[in-house]
Structure 1
Amino acid sequence: MHLVTMDKFIKPLISIACALLLVGCSSTGKIDYMVAGVGTENGNAIWGRSVVFDDTWGIPSGAIGCCYGETRATVGVYDQKFPEKVAVEWLDKSENRIYYGEVAIDKAGYKLAKNLPRYTVVSTGRKAKEIIPYLIIGMSETGEINVWLSNAPSGRNRTDRVLHELGSGQAQWRENQ
């Protein structure tokens, strides 16, 4: 009789522990401060209509003319959970198309953001004192969406810059009316 009572107690306890473990593994932590920005291929001027992370916060929209893998139109973000997805929409006037799509962001991005290496400023030869994670969303003229994480906004005047790809996808498009 005692074993039956213990069995009724242990099985639910194990189920709860496993559920908590799964929930803990699937979420990402908060970042004190990071910068999120957008870019496009050089020579491909587009008009960003929306860039929204996890359906909660985003980057202001507007003209984007350069450069893939670099942060251009940016927003500083404080005390936010590292995003798990990004939804984008942009207008490519040269094709008269509106592109839209959503990309999942690799959950390993949070750990990478917390452990980015310091870069060197070429003009001084000194290592950066504090590293700010840069989350970069790239939108191409062919509708490709890329998500990168970097330790610096661009490669100019910096060495040791890293660029980790955290996700990619293909946008759908419709004619601009």
Structure 2
Amino acid sequence: MGSLGCCWESAGKTSGVYDQKFPEKVVVEWLDKSENRIYYGEVAIDKAGYKLAKNLPNFSYYTGEVEDEIFPYLIIGMGETGEIKVWISNTPSAGFTGRVLHELGSGQAQWRENN
């Protein structure tokens, strides 16, 4: 798909992909400035994610409006000690009524010093 950049205090970078097969893995690399480490790793994605993506439920906005055109979101999280998690959701972020979040895979990154 490509690469995304983000900032250390917030999340929210998104990239759209269509007309592609469901991914089999996620490869990530990030810099932990506090430890001066570069973490890198990959996570295999559960093949059941494809079925989940096709059957995600509707959700509601805070206004009560129901969204019935659902686009699946792969959400990737990296922890401070190198944990990697991959989820699929029917919304891009928290704060929606009816949001679902299914874990598709997890792993542990390796690290090297940032020279």
TM-score (norm 2): 0.94
SS of 1:110's equivalent in the other structure is helix
**How many residues are aligned here?**
115
- Return the alpha-carbon distance in structure 1 between the equivalents of residues 20 and 2 of structure 2: 11
| Residue 69 of structure 2 is aligned to residue 170 of structure 1 | no
Q: 2:79 aligns with which of 140, 155, 158?
A: 140
| Residue 41 of structure 2 is aligned to residue 101 of structure 1 | yes
Q: Which residue of the partner structure matches residue 4 of structure 2?
A: 60
Q: Which residue of the partner structure matches residue 70 of structure 2?
A: 131
- Return the alpha-carbon distance in structure 1 between the equivalents of residues 105 and 99 of structure 2: 19
Fraction of identical pairs, as percent = 70
Structure with bigger strand share is 1
Structure with bigger helix share is 1
Q: Which residue of the partner structure matches residue 28 of structure 2?
A: 88
- Return the alpha-carbon distance in structure 1 between the equivalents of residues 31 and 58 of structure 2: 36
Q: Displacement, 1:142?
A: 1.0
Q: Which residue of the partner structure matches residue 11 of structure 1?
A: none
Q: Displacement, 1:62?
A: 4.0
Divergent runs of 4+, >4 A: none
- Return the alpha-carbon distance in structure 2 between the equivalents of residues 82 and 115 of structure 1: 14
Contact kept in structure 2, 1:64 and 1:73, CA below 8 Å: no
Contact kept in structure 2, 1:96 and 1:175, CA below 8 Å: yes
- Structure 2 gaps, min length 5: none
TM-score (norm 1): 0.62
The higher radius of gyration belongs to: 1
- Return the alpha-carbon distance in structure 2 between the equivalents of residues 77 and 91 of structure 1: 25
SS of 2:42's equivalent in the other structure is strand
Q: Which has the higher contact order (CA 8 A, sep 6+)?
A: 2
